[in-house]
């Protein structure tokens, strides 16, 4: 069986050139992807990730001590504008009482963009802690709450991911 291309018979040379062109194109495209991937984001989110990994047992112990407090936190973000909202935190102790005299700090980070971190204090008002938040973009944000006080040396930590639409 002979195949013809524009009246010429298909030879082994034609097939070899087509294969070389195909794989050459694949190598060029993959090389471009690798070049742009290496030039954009290094993938390193923590400079001391190895040391933090080794100290992870301490983090587990901290979480266990935190759990034994019996606190029941409820963190909520209500969007009030395009890039604005209200962050509220209600903390109930093991006896079912609202905790009032605490120092509550929030750290808000954008997981994919560096340099947008902001810290703010939540103030106790009526039955919860609250703060107005102005964010620099839509999308996902990570909120870390640190609560100092309540008769404990270590801060109580609460992490939540919020979505700003």
**Greater model confidence, 106 or 48:** 106
14-23, 36-45, 95-104: least confident range? 36-45
The string of DSSP codes covering 26-39 is HHHHHHHHHHHHHH
15-43 burial: b if 16+ Cβ within 10 Å, else e: eeeeeeeeeeeeeeeeeeeeeeeeeeeee
Q: Is the predicted pLDDT of residue 3 greater than 70, yes or no?
A: no
> Cα 10 to the chain's mean position, in Å?
55
Provide the pLDDT for residue 50.
Answer: 87
The string of DSSP codes covering 89-122 is EEEE-TTSPBP-SEEEEEEEE-SSSTT--EEEEE
Provide the pLDDT for residue 5.
Answer: 60
Q: What is the pLDDT of residues 57-111, one digit of tens each?
A: 998 999 999 999 999 999 999 999 989 999 999 999 999 999 999 999 999 999 8
């Amino acid at each position: 069986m002979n195949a013809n291309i524009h009246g010429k018979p298909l030879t082994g040379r034609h097939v070899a050139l087509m294969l070389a062109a195909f794989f050459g194109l694949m190598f060029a495209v993959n090389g471009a992807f690798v070049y742009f991937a290496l030039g954009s984001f290094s993938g390193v989110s923590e400079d001391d990730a190895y040391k933090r990994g080794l100290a992870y047992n301490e983090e587990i112990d901290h979480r266990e001590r935190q759990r034994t407090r019996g606190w029941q936190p409820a963190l909520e973000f209500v969007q009030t504008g395009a890039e604005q909202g209200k962050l509220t935190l209600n903390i109930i102790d093991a006896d079912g009482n609202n905790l009032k005299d605490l120092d509550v700090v929030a750290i808000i980070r954008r997981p994919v963009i560096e340099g947008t971190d902001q810290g703010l204090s939540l103030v106790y008002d009526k039955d919860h802690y609250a703060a107005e938040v102005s964010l620099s973009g839509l999308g996902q944000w990570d909120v870390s709450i640190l609560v100092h006080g309540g008769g404990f040396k270590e801060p109580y930590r609460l992490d939540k991911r919020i979505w700003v639409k």
